[in-house]
Structure 1
Amino acid sequence: MPPISFIEGFEKLRLLDAAIEQSHNSVVITDADLDAGPRIIYVNAGFERMTGYTREEALGQTPRMLQGPATSRAVLDRMRGALACGECFDGEAINYRKDGSWYYVRWHISPVHSQEDERRVTHFVSVQQDISEDRRRDDQLRLLSTALEVSADPVLITDPEGTITYVNAAFEDQTGYSRNEAQGQNPRILKSGQQDAAFYQELWATLKRGEAFRGEFVNRRRDGSLMHMEQSISPVTNAEGEVTHYVSIGKDVTDRVRMEEEIRRLAHTDWLTGLANRLSLGNTLESEMERSRRYGRPLSLIMFDIDHFKDFNDDYGHETGDEVLKRLAVTVREGLREADSLGRWGGEEFLVVVPETSGSGAEAMAEKLRKAVAAMETSCPISVTASFGVTEMRPGDTPKSLTRRVDEAMYQAKEAGRNRVVLL
């Protein structure tokens, strides 16, 4: 009967052989002849799966059978130097399969020393791991990271609680916050107060449904200035469906918003005086007439234009005439109440919508304005005066009938000698 120690040793060898054969990694054992070889004396099933070579094809060959054009010569030289010194070696390189396709491999090679002479190496054992998928994943992550960093649009990532974990360079440039200042903070640092609670309630309701939220944010930069951002915020989930992050990608549309606001302003503003234009003032008049009818409150109009304005242009030039119009607009605006609406009706004609005011009250206001105009200083060498017409809204009036009547009152003022007020 064999000794117990022999049986145990045999069982251990059997288990070790089974473990190596079933290993997912490639295991290669070579002799230690670095001059002629080393020659492969053993490969496991993992080697066959990884390389496409059968063990019969591999035995007696050298590991050079797996090398090719893209295999790093520097890595091979370091490996040969380590093995020549009887040292372990760890490294990564590109190997080639039997079919010519390549894969990334991570090596761990250990020398096996003689039992009689520990200085003498008898074999090398190489455990090889195919890391192609890891490298592809790493390359993809590096590519994505680079794309985020070079993107011209700001990117912000938070954890599920809304704490900022990442911002890119565009975020730093456009918000003024460095990534060190932003990381660990909440996106509330960008909140401007320009949007109400309902906006943010809709945002969170959308995200909690697992949907992406898209909207235009009015954010505040670090220096306090406002910026308009078109942002898309998406939840990122793990395999269990749990939200792990929120990713926000934005686009600065501040210039576009400013341009749209300027277009809207120009559509309702007189280009020369900066007052409301005829379209805008007509809309205001309709609204005030409707309000006057609804609440039974008085409403009056004042219309005026500059006396002998054509002579100003003919005698002193259009630049002087334009300067007089701008100065007139400023003078009259300073004499009005906040509720009153002043606009340029056309040419040298101006209209004032005077809510909550009777005809006699508007007449007194017009007289005050007339005196202010007569006293104002301009670059024109002669004094500037204006003729004023006043009327109060009557039952059945329309915007057209009301403006026609105040226009008639103004022309009566001109026919009566100009520089005066007529209530009609």
Structure 2
Amino acid sequence: MGSNAPGAVPRIAPWWGMALYLLAGAVWVAVGDGLLAHWVQDPHLLARWQTFKGWLYVAFTGVLAWWLLTRMRSAERARSALAQERVQIERHAPVGIARVEPAGMRFLSANERLCAWLELPPQAIVQRHFDELVAPDDRASAQRQLQQLLSGQAGHFQGERLCLRAGGGPPLPVLCTVSLVPAAQDEPAHLLCVLQDMGGINAARAALARSENILRLALDGSGSGMWDWDLAQRRITGSQGLLRLLRYRGAELPRGLNLLRRVHPEDRHRLHRAVQRAIAAGGSFDETARLQRFDGSYCWFQARGQCHRDAQGRPERFSGILADLTDLRTAEERQRLASTVLDNAVEGVVVADAHARILSINPVVTRVLGYTEEELLGRNPRVFQSGRHDKAFYETMWEAVRRTGHWQGEIWNRRKNGEIFPERMSLSAVRDAQGAVTHYVCMFSDISQEKAQHQRLEFLSHRDSLTGLPNRAWFVEQLGQALCQAQVHGEQMAVLLLNLDRFKDVNDSYGHAVGDEVLRHITAQVCMSLRPGDLVGRMAGDEIAVLARNLRHSDGAAAVAQYMIAAASKPWRTPDGIEVVAGVSVGISMFPEHARTAEQLLQGAHSAVYGAKARGRGAHCFFDESMIQAARERLEIEARLRSALAQGHLRLYYQPQVDIATGRIVGAEALLRWLDPEEGVISPARFISVAETSGVIGPLGRWVMQEACSQGQRWRAAGLPGIRLAVNVSPYQFQLTDVAACAAQALEDSGLPPHCLELELTESALAERPEAMRQVLQRLQALGVRIAVDDFGTGYSSLAHLKRFPIDALKIDQGFIRDIPSSADDMAISATIIAMGRSLGLTVLAEGVETPEQLAFLRARGCDSYQGYLCSRPVPAEQFGALLQAQA
């Protein structure tokens, strides 16, 4: 059986070689002699050919012998070299090699590496049994595998074993490979054992495991996850970090999962094209997109990877790392937002390092201080110091920063142009994890305008913006302080309230700008008239209060009042040279005679002003207790009147208006009565003036017009004769309400025909606002409402009014009728009014007719109608309805 070694020559057994040689010689002789005898007939020639054939055989066999000997020597040398090479390989191999006798399992040989491992000399290991070097725990399995090998059930076996050392050291872990080597020509059959030291392999494995663990920990620590996409099987696998990032609860990603389908629709097309480019070109892949996690939420990820190809260059795998960018993008967004807020903040922000060197500023600093960023970077903020604060101020500020980490307050700093300005500043220290200061952040805002506004507000809170005088609040405060001093020293004082006369006429005639100048002029005149120690203040639009101190008696207060009246009467000249005069009326309240508190003194002076105006312009009047009582009564009447209007305590009484020619009732004047539950009937003389001055006359007049129209319609609905209802309209109603609109609404709500309503107004109402009144009366005339002038002859009695305004009737005041026929003057005036009315086409009605003589006079002069006690007193609606029923 030949060796399998390379270059070996097949070896033939000796007896087979001899047999072949003899057979070849016999064939040569027999065949050669037969052929020569057949071809050559000549005996001599045949002998020569036979001789030649013999020498040829000798030569051939000699050459063959020489070739065989040469090949044998070459093969022997090759076997020797191969054996030496095997010995060298076994000696210097990095593994242990041994040959074991199969029968007795004793070592035949071992190389130096195995001897070194087993701590035995080469000659000693030959005496060892194979089982003696195997650890007891491994011997049973080793023997079982050897039996399988020797029985031919296996060609070789391999396994990890513990090899015992002769010196008693720790067992050596080896990877043992045993093969059966059949017998050869120069060696018997044996077992070839190759032992590889597993210590190095285990160390390498441990190092690899440590490396893999470090890589896994690095990936987990970085918050990243690794993905691998098998392009052939179209399967994606991922690390545990990837599963955590995707919030997947399973052990591994589901088969067939396509992560591209979980990309946000807005990013999917871009990311898909990037993946295709990376796979096609084989380049690196780095993209950012939103990916839907398995809990349904989207977050930002960064995917970085590479396409791997096989030996033929075809794409095989696509793998990489997935990193969660949600926190990073959130931080970037916060940083961008913080930067935007900082750049657009209304406050200046300066950031300095721990050594107070400026690191950055925002645009507000440049705008407020005038420095550029390059001028401030690296400099100390003390460049802003104004010099207004001493060293103690800054020491206190920095001590607060060191103690609490923060200081806030107002400070004066200097701009680049040298201007000093106030600012509200907040200084904070930024510390690291160890508590050491790393930065200082200063935020400030320019409050110079705020300071100026505060000063203006401070001035306005105590001063009048038009005149510069102390306002009411400050004057009252100063007056209170003066009263405290006066009580201590027994001082007598007076509060004088100056109310401008005809100030409304000045505003209406020249405008409010001129009115303001006149007020400033009078204020200046009054201030120049003050004595040392006196106080002055503006109370309201046209009221100035003066505190006159150190008076001996009330005559001194009167003298001061006269002096100020004279000063205020000096005219003010317009730029056009027109003189404007507006004097003052003065009310005086004495301390302690009239009042002892500031409010009471002002209240008394205010009440006294009305008394002064009642005496005529440019007068003064001392306070009297009756003034307060009258004012209190007016306030009480006003409150009770509002309540009576709300609770329905008001009633309308009706006084008949009788046609003189026929004696029939043609109309009625609606007169207001107040039926108080406690006091009874309250006369209109007590509450009408209060209603006019308090503003109650507006809603009160609307109610009277509504009630009168409704009652008139009720009478008409009851079949009573149609009459004309006269309703009085106060001049104040025209200022507070739209009288024409109120009349139209009352007529519409009640259904009363417009010609059945007559509105009575006084001549003074026509004179106050003639143009506005003409427009209102024209609107009433357009509605069909009649207009009558009440108490004609007691007011302006201007014939121009009768010409300009749409008047339908005149009412002669009862003051001209009361003394007829005893008074010739009253008779003349009444006759004149009747004649004038008839000539103008107006109807004339006389009020207050109480006697037949008065009626006879009016009938003789051609008066149209009358009303008065001669016919009937004012009666409630029920009684008036009975009068109409009786007349019908």
TM-score under structure 1 normalisation? 0.58
Structure 1 stretch 185-194 or stretch 1-10: which is displaced more? 1-10
Partner of 1:385 in structure 2?
A: none
Q: Which amino acid counterpart does residue 201 of structure 1 have in structure 2?
A: E
Structure 1 stretch 20-29 or stretch 7-16: which is displaced more? 7-16
1:161 correspondence with 2:355: yes
| Pairs within 5 Å for 1:119-138 | 119-138=313-332
Residue 231 of structure 2, aligned match among 10, 18, 32: 32
CA contact (8 A) 1:26 1:50 kept: yes
CA contact (8 A) 2:238 2:252 kept: no
**Superposition deviation, residue 204 in structure 1:** 0.6
Structure 1, unmatched stretches of 5+, are 280-318, 327-344, 352-424
Relative to structure 1, is the Cα distance of residues 185 and 347 closer, same or farther in structure 2, using a 3 angstrom cutoff?
Answer: same
Looking at structure 2, the residues matched to 266 and 216 of structure 1 have their Cα atoms a distance apart, in angstroms, of 24
Looking at structure 2, the residues matched to 65 and 168 of structure 1 have their Cα atoms a distance apart, in angstroms, of 45
Structure 2, unmatched stretches of 5+, are 1-174, 176-194, 469-474, 476-516, 533-888
**Superposition deviation, residue 72 in structure 1:** 5.5
Looking at structure 2, the residues matched to 267 and 94 of structure 1 have their Cα atoms a distance apart, in angstroms, of 61
Looking at structure 2, the residues matched to 194 and 72 of structure 1 have their Cα atoms a distance apart, in angstroms, of 64
1:235 correspondence with 2:429: yes
Looking at structure 2, the residues matched to 126 and 247 of structure 1 have their Cα atoms a distance apart, in angstroms, of 43
CA RMSD of aligned residues (A): 4.0
Relative to structure 1, is the Cα distance of residues 254 and 38 closer, same or farther in structure 2, using a 3 angstrom cutoff?
Answer: farther
Looking at structure 1, the residues matched to 228 and 326 of structure 2 have their Cα atoms a distance apart, in angstroms, of 22
1:60 correspondence with 2:256: yes
1:214 correspondence with 2:395: no
Partner of 1:45 in structure 2?
A: 240
Q: Which amino acid counterpart does residue 135 of structure 1 have in structure 2?
A: R
Greater RCO (CA < 8 Å, at least 6 residues apart): 1
Looking at structure 2, the residues matched to 15 and 112 of structure 1 have their Cα atoms a distance apart, in angstroms, of 25
CA contact (8 A) 1:155 1:247 kept: yes
Partner of 1:371 in structure 2?
A: none
SS in structure 1 at match of 2:397: helix
Partner of 1:94 in structure 2?
A: 290
Deviations 1:216-263 (A, max 9, x none): 111111122222110111111121111111111112110122344567
CA contact (8 A) 2:428 2:440 kept: yes
Relative to structure 1, is the Cα distance of residues 83 and 179 closer, same or farther in structure 2, using a 3 angstrom cutoff?
Answer: farther
Looking at structure 1, the residues matched to 362 and 229 of structure 2 have their Cα atoms a distance apart, in angstroms, of 50
Relative to structure 1, is the Cα distance of residues 21 and 67 closer, same or farther in structure 2, using a 3 angstrom cutoff?
Answer: same
Looking at structure 1, the residues matched to 315 and 205 of structure 2 have their Cα atoms a distance apart, in angstroms, of 24
Looking at structure 2, the residues matched to 194 and 74 of structure 1 have their Cα atoms a distance apart, in angstroms, of 63
**Superposition deviation, residue 346 in structure 1:** 4.7
Q: Which amino acid counterpart does residue 238 of structure 2 have in structure 1?
A: V
Indicate the structure (1 or 2) with the bigger Cα radius of gyration: 2
SS in structure 2 at match of 1:94: strand
Structure 1 stretch 204-213 or stretch 79-88: which is displaced more? 79-88
Relative to structure 1, is the Cα distance of residues 14 and 198 closer, same or farther in structure 2, using a 3 angstrom cutoff?
Answer: closer
Structure 1 stretch 124-133 or stretch 75-84: which is displaced more? 75-84
**Superposition deviation, residue 60 in structure 1:** 3.2
Q: Which amino acid counterpart does residue 367 of structure 2 have in structure 1?
A: D
| Pairs within 5 Å for 1:247-262 | 247-261=441-455
**Superposition deviation, residue 264 in structure 1:** 7.0
Relative to structure 1, is the Cα distance of residues 38 and 244 closer, same or farther in structure 2, using a 3 angstrom cutoff?
Answer: farther
Deviations 1:388-417 (A, max 9, x none): xxxxxxxxxxxxxxxxxxxxxxxxxxxxxx
**Superposition deviation, residue 68 in structure 1:** 2.6
Deviations 1:85-134 (A, max 9, x none): 111112222211101112222222022232x34x3332122111212212
Deviations 1:177-211 (A, max 9, x none): 12222221111121111222121111111111133
CA contact (8 A) 1:207 1:235 kept: yes
SS in structure 1 at match of 2:265: coil
Relative to structure 1, is the Cα distance of residues 4 and 204 closer, same or farther in structure 2, using a 3 angstrom cutoff?
Answer: same
CA contact (8 A) 2:407 2:428 kept: yes
Q: Which amino acid counterpart does residue 228 of structure 2 have in structure 1?
A: I
Relative to structure 1, is the Cα distance of residues 30 and 256 closer, same or farther in structure 2, using a 3 angstrom cutoff?
Answer: same
CA contact (8 A) 2:243 2:252 kept: no
Partner of 2:420 in structure 1?
A: 226
Relative to structure 1, is the Cα distance of residues 348 and 263 closer, same or farther in structure 2, using a 3 angstrom cutoff?
Answer: farther
SS in structure 1 at match of 2:267: coil
| Pairs within 5 Å for 1:69-218 | 69-71=265-267, 73-114=269-310, 116-117=311-312, 119-218=313-412
More helix by share: 2
CA contact (8 A) 1:156 1:164 kept: yes
Partner of 2:57 in structure 1?
A: none
Looking at structure 1, the residues matched to 251 and 280 of structure 2 have their Cα atoms a distance apart, in angstroms, of 26
Relative to structure 1, is the Cα distance of residues 17 and 213 closer, same or farther in structure 2, using a 3 angstrom cutoff?
Answer: closer
Deviations 1:360-391 (A, max 9, x none): xxxxxxxxxxxxxxxxxxxxxxxxxxxxxxxx
Looking at structure 1, the residues matched to 261 and 268 of structure 2 have their Cα atoms a distance apart, in angstroms, of 14
Aligned residues: 291
Relative to structure 1, is the Cα distance of residues 350 and 266 closer, same or farther in structure 2, using a 3 angstrom cutoff?
Answer: farther
